[in-house]
Amino acid sequence: MTDAYVDWREERAAVSRAYDDWTAAPTADAAVAFAVYRAALDREERAAEVYGGLVMQIAAGTSVAFNP
């Protein structure tokens, strides 16, 4: 479970960096920077789903299987 939490935190940090890059990008590079930001959001969402699923398994009292 700790691995899933760390994965989510790392992806969350990547979203923050990508957002900063996008908002600071020159107009000519904004579309590419936005695409990078969206991809980071997708990765963070997946990591959050994995972590959240593990939390729900624990809350339900079932065994935890980590399969990223």
Structural domain range at position 33:
2-60
Strands (E), 1-68: none
Structure tokens at 22: 């996008």
How many Å is the Cα radius of gyration of the chain? 15
Q: How far apart are CA 59 and CA 36, in angstroms?
A: 34
Q: How many domains does the chain have?
A: 1
Cβ atoms 64, 3 nearer than 8 A: no
Instruction: Give the model confidence (pLDDT) of 32-61 as tens digits.
Output: 999 999 999 999 999 999 999 999 988 888
Residue that is written with structure tokens 């789903």 in the block: 49
> In the 8-state DSSP scheme, what is residue 63?
P
Instruction: Give the model confidence (pLDDT) of 12-25 as tens digits.
Output: 999 999 999 999 99
Q: Does 11 reside within a domain?
A: yes
